[in-house]
Amino acid sequence: MATALELHDLTVSYHKKPVLYGVDLAIPEGSLVGLIGPNGAGKSTLIKAVMGLLPVSGGWVKVFDQPFKEAKRRVGYVPQRESVDWDFPVNVMDVVLMGRYGRLGLLKRPGKADREKAREALDKVAMLPYANRQISNLSGGQQQRVFLARALAQESDLYLMDEPFAGVDAATERAIIALLQELKAKGKTILVVHHDLTTVKEYFDRLVLLNMRVVASGPTEEIFTVDLLQKTYGGRLTLLSDIAQESTHHEQGTK
Amino acid sequence: MRVLMAVLLLLAALGVPTPLLAARVGDLTETEVLEQARRFFSFSDPALRTALLGCLLLGLNCGLLGSFVVVRRLSLVGDTLSHAVLPGIALGFLWNMSKDPVVILIGATSAGVLAMLTVNAITRTTRLKDDAAMGLVLSSFYAIGICLVTMIQRLPTGQKSGIDKFLFGQAAALTSSEVLTIGITSLVTLFFVGLCFKGLLVLSFHREYGESLGLPMGWLHQIVMILTAFAVVTAMQAVGVVLVSAMLILPAATASLLTDRLHRLIWLAALLGMLAAALGAFFSFLGNNFPTGPFMVLAGAALFIPAFLFAPRHGWITRWWRHLSRRLRTERENTLKAMYHVLEDRDFHGESVSVVELAQKRRETIEEVTQRAHALQRAHLATLTDGTMLHFTPEGLLKARAIVRNHRLWELYLTNIMQYESDHVHDDAEKIEHVLGEDMVRQLERKLDFPQTDPHGKEIPRVDSGLVQRSSRSS
């Protein structure tokens, strides 16, 4: 299978302190991948570095076997919800149309076809009725859906999502995961920063365990082990024993 | 609008005579002000036409760029820029002891750029944050500027240099070449904003996302900053160093209260900017060429106040009014509910409720309850006969039944589904009954399997018909 995203010896530093150190990673096309690691492990940094939003002090990024710059259009970014000012004077449609801006370039205005794409994307996340709402009137889950719709409107082949499940209601979480699985079925590749270890097995077919470097990467059933999680999360045994219990429950099918 | 003009005229009338009072009381008559106003609106004076055109253009420019300054929360940047350019202006003047607009523009822009670089250097190398760094740079540069301006005024040629006009602004002192500079910068801004609106929208909303799309965010940011510096510098002659940043912020802040879409905000800010600038020029002219800056800013503030009070969504009075009408509605609904309870207590015998009964039910005086009865009558929910007997109107009865139903359904939901004790649920239901929509009611009914009675054994009224249903199975 072709490789959607490949990192080689990627090193990123904040104020001369390395956050990511010599990261090697290859993600095959058409997989739904969870990016897991403790707080401060560099999960968001990894995504931002791939998107070229942070200066990289070493290594390279390839997307679909091309240098990132040339394949930029094929990558969609879903930032953290808190990274924007939700009082900003735009409505839902305006935000989703931004997903088309990359294709349109700086000067061309969005046309009828772009609006149609934006409506389709909103419909996919069940937000079309709210298209004319000002964004400050949305709930957390709705805001996250708007960001997803914007990414869908980009029609990318690789999606990088920074905590799409943070602070959303259960219904939205189910809707989002269904959508991600649908995208995967269409051959898209999705990398998701994820926090909730209890849902990992259910959601992702591959995992990347990250803590400054890649601890392990591969199919979930091979990677999601107490041993590797312990390596990733260091000495946080209470958390790990909970997860261990959880995962044995999973294996025995008692959940 | 007319009220506003009146307020401003009053302001001007107050402002005009004061400094002249000592010299010639009674000399300045009302007709003189009217005469000045007539001269202003006849547009026959070429110098006046130049000044007014300059003001309109700078208002447009400041409004357009101020929109981005305000939505990106960069207001302090505008303030820093405007104060920091003063030494540049003074040095530009000292270059060949004249007010050459191009030299002054270059001097001012370099001073602005230097100030911004200093701010960056301070924030990057120390633990000071943006606000402290900007405050520091703003005041230091301004102090240098004031020293230089004072020095120039002490020079033999300095007295009539007109450099002091840069402090508080003097639209009448605008030369046609200065107006041309303002015009060119404004047109450049207009085209830039029109052409790159999409990019500017993403830049302002979320710069990182714009970068992820591959749009040249860095370039757009630099161009906006440079155009803002130009807007500030060119507007300085007419508005003055001290107040020019207000021309960036006021129109855009007003517009942001009035609309929720960026493109509307921008055009509205441009219009308001032009209006404020023209009004400022007008009142400065009325007052025999008073400093223009303060009048422009006052006009801008006068436009802000009604928006602050009456804006459709964010206005202070609008919100207060919404709150008040909600409270009054709740009170009416509570009275209706009490009437229903009175009727229910006597098994719906008779249709009228006396004021005394209602007072007993509500534990209030007859006077208080009579007021409530009048409020119901005004809202056509009940009729009051002889000042003592209340009858539901059909609409009032429906409403009363709906409120009682909401209350009892919610109590039932809390006890049966959420497992609360039945003595815990009344107070919560008192609030929820007023906000439950029909849709929620249907859901509750389905969830509770269309219940007949509430946790206290009272019947839950049905609302599908407007008739009083005599309870057939009342306890």
Asked if the structure places residue B379 within a domain, the reply is yes
Tokens of B92: 């530009």
Asked if the structure places residue B341 within a domain, the reply is yes
Contact (CB<8Å) B209/A73:
no
Q: Residue A77: which of B196, B209, B260 has the nearest Cβ?
A: B209
The verdict on B281 and B329 lying in the same domain is no
Q: Collect all residues of chain B within an 8 Å Cβ-Cβ radius of residue A134.
A: 260
Average pLDDT for chain A? 86
CB atoms near residue B96 (< 10 Å): 9
> What's the half-sphere exposure (Cβ side, CA atoms, 13 Å) at B14?
7
- Domain limits for position B81: 39-314
* Spatial separation of the C-alpha atoms in residues B97 and B87, rounded to whole Å: 14
Q: Residue B262: which of A73, A75, A90 has the nearest Cβ?
A: A90
CA nearest to B265 within chain A? A89
* Spatial separation of the C-alpha atoms in residues A199 and A178, rounded to whole Å: 13
Contact (CB<8Å) B195/A102:
no
* Spatial separation of the C-alpha atoms in residues B94 and B447, rounded to whole Å: 83
> Checking DSSP bridges between strand B382-385 and strand A213-219, what pairing results, if any?
unpaired
The verdict on B255 and B362 lying in the same domain is no
pLDDT at A246 (0 to 100): 63
> Checking DSSP bridges between strand A75-78 and strand A158-161, what pairing results, if any?
parallel
Helix or strand (DSSP H, E) at A123: helix A112-124
Q: Collect all residues of chain B within an 8 Å Cβ-Cβ radius of residue A91.
A: 260-261
Q: Best interface-test mutation with B: which of A94, A100, A158 has the largest number of B CBs within 10 A?
A: A94
Tokens of B184: 């060119």
pLDDT at residue A67 is higher than 70: yes
> Checking DSSP bridges between strand B389-392 and strand A158-161, what pairing results, if any?
unpaired
Q: Residue A89: which of B206, B214, B261 has the nearest Cβ?
A: B261
| Domains of chain A and CATH, by start | 3-224 (3.40.50.300)
Q: Tell me which residue has tokens 């960001």.
A: A147
Residue B260 is given by DSSP the state S
Contact residues, A window 67-86, toward B, CB-based 8 Å cutoff: 72-73, 75, 77, 79, 83-85
Q: Residue B196: which of A79, A95, A106 has the nearest Cβ?
A: A106
Cα–Cα–Cα angle for A45, A47, A51, rounded to 5 degrees: 110
Contact A80, A163 (CB under 8 A): yes
Backbone φ and ψ for B446, nearest 5 degrees, come out as -65, -45
The residue ranking higher by pLDDT, A239 or B106, is B106
Contact B274, B60 (CB under 8 A): yes
The verdict on B44 and B120 lying in the same domain is yes
A120 and B CB contact within 8 Å: no
Contact B414, B425 (CB under 8 A): yes
Domain total of chain B: 2
Three-state SS at A19:
strand
Asked if the structure places residue B241 within a domain, the reply is yes
Contacts of B258 (CB under 8 A, 6+ apart): B265, B268, B307, B311, B312
Q: Edge-to-edge strands of the sheet including A58-63? A: A17-28, A3-14, A58-63, A66-67
Tokens of A160: 């990088």
Q: Is B441 left (phi over 0), alpha (psi -120 to 50) or beta?
A: alpha
Query: Per-residue pLDDT averaged across A190-214, rounded?
Result: 89
Query: Per-residue pLDDT averaged across A209-221, rounded?
Result: 88
Three-state SS at B98:
coil
The interface predicted TM-score of the complex, written ipTM, equals 0.88
> Which of B349, B372, B392 is the last residue in one of the domains?
B392
Q: Collect all residues of chain B within an 8 Å Cβ-Cβ radius of residue A107.
A: 195-196
Q: Which residues pair with residue A67 across a beta bridge? A: A62
pLDDT at B168 (0 to 100): 81
**Beta strand ranges found along B257-324 (DSSP E):** none
Three-state SS at B258:
helix
Q: Tell me which residue has tokens 């900007």.
A: B134
* Spatial separation of the C-alpha atoms in residues B209 and B217, rounded to whole Å: 9
Contact (CB<8Å) A79/B201:
no
> CA separation (Å) from B100 to A161, B97, B114, B144, B243?
55, 9, 21, 21, 22
A13 and B CB contact within 8 Å: no
Identity (one letter) of the amino acid at B20?
L
A2 and B CB contact within 8 Å: no
* Spatial separation of the C-alpha atoms in residues A175 and B66, rounded to whole Å: 40
The verdict on B330 and B216 lying in the same domain is no
Contact (CB<8Å) B205/A84:
yes
* Spatial separation of the C-alpha atoms in residues B447 and B212, rounded to whole Å: 47
Tokens of B430: 């008192």
Contact (CB<8Å) B210/A88:
no
Q: Best interface-test mutation with A: which of B70, B209, B215, B439 has the largest number of A CBs within 10 A?
A: B209
Asked if the structure places residue B402 within a domain, the reply is no
* Domain CATH number, residue B378: 1.10.10
Asked if the structure places residue B419 within a domain, the reply is no
> CA separation (Å) from B231 to B164, B165, B228?
20, 17, 5
Q: Tell me which residue has tokens 């006068």.
A: B302
CA nearest to B193 within chain A? A107
The verdict on B292 and B354 lying in the same domain is no
The verdict on B261 and B337 lying in the same domain is no
Q: At what angle do helices B262-286 and B197-205 cross, to 10 degrees?
A: 100
A107 and B CB contact within 8 Å: yes
pLDDT at B465 (0 to 100): 46
Contacts of A163 (CB under 8 A, 6+ apart): A44, A80, A81, A193, A194, A195
The verdict on B286 and B385 lying in the same domain is no
pLDDT at B57 (0 to 100): 95
CA of A84 vs chain B CAs: smallest distance (Å): 6
* Spatial separation of the C-alpha atoms in residues B117 and A130, rounded to whole Å: 43
The verdict on B223 and B301 lying in the same domain is yes
pLDDT at residue A121 is higher than 90: yes
CA of B257 vs chain A CAs: smallest distance (Å): 10
Contact (CB<8Å) B71/A89:
yes
How big is the A-B interface in CB pairs under 8 Å? 74
Question: What percent of chain A lies above the pLDDT cut of 70?
Answer: 91
Contact A133, A91 (CB under 8 A): yes
The verdict on B145 and B291 lying in the same domain is yes
> Which of B279, B314, B349 is the last residue in one of the domains?
B314
pTM for the structure as a whole: 0.80
- Positive or negative, the CA dihedral B267, B273, B274, B279 is positive
Three-state SS at B395:
helix
Cα–Cα–Cα angle for B357, B359, B362, rounded to 5 degrees: 110
Contact (CB<8Å) B262/A79:
no
pLDDT at B162 (0 to 100): 72
* Domain CATH number, residue B289: 1.10.3470.10
Q: Residue A89: which of B195, B202, B262 has the nearest Cβ?
A: B262
For A150-197, how does the pLDDT look when each residue is reduced to its tens digit (9 = 90+)? 999 999 999 999 999 988 888 888 889 999 999 999 999 999 999 888
pLDDT at residue A244 is higher than 70: no
Residue B313 is given by DSSP the state T
* Spatial separation of the C-alpha atoms in residues B108 and B91, rounded to whole Å: 8
- Residue ranges in chain B whose pLDDT is less than 70: 1-31, 158-161, 464-475
> Which of B263, B288, B314 is the last residue in one of the domains?
B314
Cα B409 from chain centroid? Answer: 41
Tokens of B97: 């002891």
Contact B373, B379 (CB under 8 A): no
Tokens of B185: 């910068």
A110 and B CB contact within 8 Å: yes
CA nearest to A154 within chain B? B213
* Spatial separation of the C-alpha atoms in residues B421 and B414, rounded to whole Å: 8
Asked if the structure places residue B470 within a domain, the reply is no
The verdict on B239 and B348 lying in the same domain is no
Contact B116, B81 (CB under 8 A): yes
Contact A32, A203 (CB under 8 A): yes
For B369-403, how does the pLDDT look when each residue is reduced to its tens digit (9 = 90+)? 999 999 999 999 999 888 888 899 999 999 999 99
The verdict on B244 and B388 lying in the same domain is no
Tokens of B66: 């101020």
Residue A225 is given by DSSP the state -
Contact B20, B28 (CB under 8 A): yes
Asked if the structure places residue B449 within a domain, the reply is no
Asked if the structure places residue B466 within a domain, the reply is no
CA of B233 vs chain A CAs: smallest distance (Å): 28
Contact (CB<8Å) A102/B213:
yes
The verdict on B294 and B383 lying in the same domain is no
* Spatial separation of the C-alpha atoms in residues A232 and A40, rounded to whole Å: 12
> Checking DSSP bridges between strand B389-392 and strand B382-385, what pairing results, if any?
antiparallel
Helix or strand (DSSP H, E) at B305: helix B292-310
Identity (one letter) of the amino acid at B245?
S
pLDDT at A241 (0 to 100): 55
pLDDT at A40 (0 to 100): 79
Burial (CB < 10 A; 0-12, 13-18, 19+), residue B110, is middle
Q: Collect all residues of chain A within an 8 Å Cβ-Cβ radius of residue B259.
A: 89
Tokens of B232: 């500030």
Q: Collect all residues of chain A within an 8 Å Cβ-Cβ radius of residue B261.
A: 89-91, 94
A167 and B CB contact within 8 Å: no
Contact B389, B352 (CB under 8 A): yes
Backbone φ and ψ for A201, nearest 5 degrees, come out as -60, -40
Contact (CB<8Å) A52/B211:
yes
* Spatial separation of the C-alpha atoms in residues A233 and A215, rounded to whole Å: 10
Query: Per-residue pLDDT averaged across A59-70, rounded?
Result: 87
